[in-house]
Amino acid sequence: MRPLTFVVGTGRSGSSALSRVLNAHPDVLSLNELMASMGSAGMPEGTITAAEFQQLLVHPRYIFEAMNRSGVPLPEFLYIKRPGRYATETTGIPALSLMVLPHLSDDPDGLLDEILGWTAGWPARTAPEHYLALFDALCGRFGRGAVVERSGYSTHWVPRLRAAFPHARFVHLHRYGPDCALSMSRHVGYRMIFLLREIQALTGVRELEELAEADVRDLPPRLAGLLHERFDPALVLDPEMPVAEFGALWSELVTQATAYLDDVPEALRTTLCYEDLLDRPEEELARLAAFAGVEPRPDWLATGRAMLDGSRRGASRRLPADVLAAVEESCAPGALALGAHRAGYGVS
């Protein structure tokens, strides 16, 4: 069976750069933010038809479209940087087109047309079987042999992916907690996540789609406003969000990841520390390539080294002492879960 690897983690840990490095390998089909693009509805239970699978691929994500309309798109939204025939205000941007296809092709619209052509006559089967068939078709299209999917904010996906793809391998990508927390605090997507998690905590719903009108009426205006098709960007950009709160989120996510991955057979899991990747790029990329089932080609290792940028490493060290102390304290549970004492972890 074709090698399939999922890189999971908190996000804001060099993961987008890693997708670009993987995409430069001639044998790797790099699926950038596929799971984030599909969302929880992208892996339904039971058998689905080809038409239903196509709908999963093309149906725009509501929250992403709302952010686009409101003038706070994620920097990861590749499609809107080089727009094609789809737009939020008219057609809506297909889920697969926003981040996945522009990573693979300079003509994401044409590639989507090809995918819809391939999938049109497929038999009814489970969603994971449809995805595997899609991965095979894309590998054939691009001449790739192994598949690596990478999404940010993806630790919660591990049990579902493990059940859907029992043969899959998992890489837990992580970064020094305070640096990651600081990056989260400055990123519009994580500020939005912070607020949406508050909505979930106040209403008790697991998914925003479960919210009833009564739930929304009971929310404070600063949160209820985020659920409109178009909202005031100030609702996301202006609130004070202490970096330590994002440190707590980092701890929660890395602890979640380590717990979930403990249930994965040892041969099917590994870790990748962002700081190690910066310190020893050839060594760590070679190890990653071997784990993902491809050759660590010397030309690719050199390309990967050149693509990595460590300029933001240690950014948290420039925080005021009291703020840094609070962030370090909030990151302590996650650091303990990772094993912070191991060589290479943290900022030297």
Quick one: pLDDT at residue 345?
34
Quick one: pLDDT at residue 207?
84
81 CB-contact burial (10 Å; exposed 0-12 / middle 13-18 / buried 19+)? exposed
% of the chain beyond a pLDDT of 70: 97
Average pLDDT over residues 122-134: 98
Quick one: pLDDT at residue 310?
83
- Does pLDDT of 269 surpass 50? yes
Average pLDDT over residues 67-73: 97
Q: How far apart, in whole angstroms, are the C-alpha atoms of residue 199 and residue 21?
A: 36
Each residue of 171-208: pLDDT tens digit?
999 999 999 999 999 999 999 999 999 999 999 998 88
Quick one: pLDDT at residue 341?
34
- Does pLDDT of 210 surpass 90? no
What would the two tokens of residue 184 be?
């989260």
Each residue of 28-62: pLDDT tens digit?
999 999 999 999 999 999 999 999 999 999 999 99
Residue 89: pLDDT band (50, 70, 90) is: very high
Each residue of 292-305: pLDDT tens digit?
999 999 999 999 99
Q: How many residues does the chain have?
A: 348
Average pLDDT over residues 304-315: 91
Of 204, 207, 249, the closest CA to residue 61 belongs to 207
Radius of gyration of the chain measured on its C-alpha atoms: 20
Q: How far apart, in whole angstroms, are the C-alpha atoms of residue 81 and residue 92?
A: 15
Q: How far apart, in whole angstroms, are the C-alpha atoms of residue 273 and residue 255?
A: 15
- Does pLDDT of 312 surpass 90? no
Residue 347: pLDDT band (50, 70, 90) is: very low
- Give the mean pLDDT of the chain: 95
Q: How far apart, in whole angstroms, are the C-alpha atoms of residue 78 and residue 103?
A: 7
- Does pLDDT of 344 surpass 70? no
